Amino acid sequence: MRLEDGFLRSFGTGQDFPPLALVLDDTGIYYDCTRPSALELLLGSDADVLQPSAQVVRQIRIQFLKSALSKYNHAPDATPEMLRPDDVQRVLVVDQTAGDMSVAKGGADAATFEAMLAAALTENPQATVYVKTHPEVSSGRKVGYLAGVQPDARTVVLREALNPLSLIRQMDKVYVVSSTMGFEALLAGKPLVCFGVPWYAGWGVTDDRQPDHPAMARRASGAGRRRSVDELFAAGYLHYTRYLNPETHQRGSIEDVMRWLEQQRGVSQRFGGRMIVVGFRRWKAANVQPMLSLRPGAVLFVKNTQEAAALQPQGQDCLVCWGRVPPAGLESLAVQSGVRLLRMEDGFVRSVGLGSDLIPPQSFVLDARGIYFDPSQPSELEDMLNTRALTEQDIGRAQAVRSFIVEHGITKYNLEPLMPVDWPCGGKPVVLVPGQVEDDASIRFGCDASGVCTNFGLLQAARRQFPDAFIVYKPHPDVASGNRRGKMVLHEALNVADHVEVQASVVSCIEACDVVVTMTSLTGFDALLRGKRVVVHGRPFYAGWGLTEDQLAVPRRHRSRNLDELVACALLHYPLYWDPVLKGYTTCEAVLGQLLEQRDSLRETGRLQTLRIGYVRRQWRKLGVLVRSLRRSW
């Protein structure tokens, strides 16, 4: 068995980007023309490789071209400005890395590349010849066969990494030895000259300059010796290659990988410059550094605004701070530099474990307008809820996500055990009052200082509104763990509440209650997901849309939204989701599945409890995170 990367491998090169496509060949390997491969045998057989549907193959090919995907997908597009504006004709010559096995096993050597360049110049006397180096030559890791070529009146050398199809589209003709760019030129409908013997040569769609090579004779003798480009695409990309579904981590399809790669590219283009991160503690920097950019070296951590200014932010660069209040002078620096200031926060479905225990998040927010928990100014989430037109697909996804969350008891931290509760309510309506961290920014900015802004004040307000109800107080996990402020002495709580719940999960409590009374807690959102009545004494992101009983006026929120629309904006479109295994951006659905798997695995092994109890054990684990962060250089 021979194992090799597939033709649609990953977003970037190297070990930082695990492959999403692999070839497993029990006959040979596709780039070795000295012997048959499973791909060659398939193409040489009488098999109808377009089955089960030629139309599906064509649709996938069209989408592939539209997305301009390639083996690696991190490079920017080739812009018209990179090419000479007065070209009569453009010919592309594709270089490869010296020592590449596809060259040695593709019937070629260094002299082949020299002959190819000479032919391109001779055969196209009116053309400008563009020599494109390999991405790993551009990165400095390897050298190319045509590394010594110098630009002249007819020759342009493109050394920077570029999206292959964006370059090919601007060419009239393409010359290759054995590069995958040759097949991508065929997909784009360009005339292709092959000086080597790649897997796609010899089937009637290429101009082959080694017609007498033994591999050509083998291919000519096959029953399927003439194959269309669609047939080559189906055989190589659909039948020969195996794909990982990046969302489920199970066997998948080319469409799964295409969606994933488009998502990586979309986020990378959205944050295309440097991410200059200001004022983060070292442990937080260590946790979030991988997820702030897929481009090596693009994330820079600095202590303060002065150090950020010294980096001279400009263009697509972003200044990043944690939470609502930026470090002194950072907003002014953003305005002066003309760059975006991004406020970063955890997402609504975060992790298995507390952020205050230094557990890395799997969802987070980068907001260029404000931040979702601060109603004093707009946020991207608020703008989205006010203006975004949602599709049927959005609503369908939102319904599925809500059902999954409810069915499996998913929460922000996923720590507390799911267990039925049996409160002695005596038939009274049950009111759940979730505690919060009292110095949390969502309370400082989302509640009125003269109104309800403490846990005890919230309990008193709930008792006033529901004098005959059975009131249950549920402390916040960060407070119960001892990490954050807001702990209420038990007897004080029981002066107002009928019960203090410290064992069951907040989900279990929500399911057992009739009403939730909250300030700005995410528990109110969790309750809405489960169809509960929610009374709100602050201005959380889910208030003001007609779904909650708001005790305070909520400005700027001028339309009603149903629950599925709220879920689509708040869970599908506003946060970014991170896959720490594949080291890339993923979907809400994928993270929900991963968190469920993590939680269930930890519960089965008894380790879930160690994440939530045992002060010394938790501090020891946090110390380990801090030590690892100190070892890193930024």
Return the pLDDT at 192. Answer: 98
Before 52, cis peptide (omega within 30)? Answer: yes
Q: Which residues of the chain have pLDDT under 70?
A: 135-140, 222-224, 355-357, 477-489, 607-634
To 10 degrees, what angle do helices 180-187 and 54-67 make? 110
Q: Side by side, which strands form the sheet with 470-474?
A: 499-500, 470-474, 430-434, 515-518, 533-536, 549-550
Return the pLDDT at 613. Answer: 52
Name the amino acid, one letter, at 251. Answer: R
Q: Give the list of residues 6+ apart from residue 51 with CB closer than 8 angstroms, or none.
A: none
Q: Give the H or E element holding residue 131.
A: strand 127-132
- Structural domains for the chain: 2-252 (3.40.50), 257-387 (3.40.1010), 392-579 (3.40.50)
Return the pLDDT at 594. Answer: 95
Return the pLDDT at 476. Answer: 81
Residue 434 is encoded by which pair of tokens?
């979730």
Q: Give the list of residues 6+ apart from residue 489 with CB closer than 8 angstroms, or none.
A: none
Return the pLDDT at 14. Answer: 80
pTM of the model: 0.90
Q: Give the list of residues 6+ apart from residue 561 with CB closer than 8 angstroms, or none.
A: 385, 545, 546, 547, 569
Residue 151 is encoded by which pair of tokens?
């630009």
Position of tokens 């980096």? 311
Return the pLDDT at 548. Answer: 98
Return the pLDDT at 138. Answer: 64
Contact 198, 236 (CB under 8 A): no
**In the chain, how many H helices and how many E strands?**
24, 23
Per the DSSP assignment, residues forming a β-bridge with 517 are 535
Return the pLDDT at 142. Answer: 77
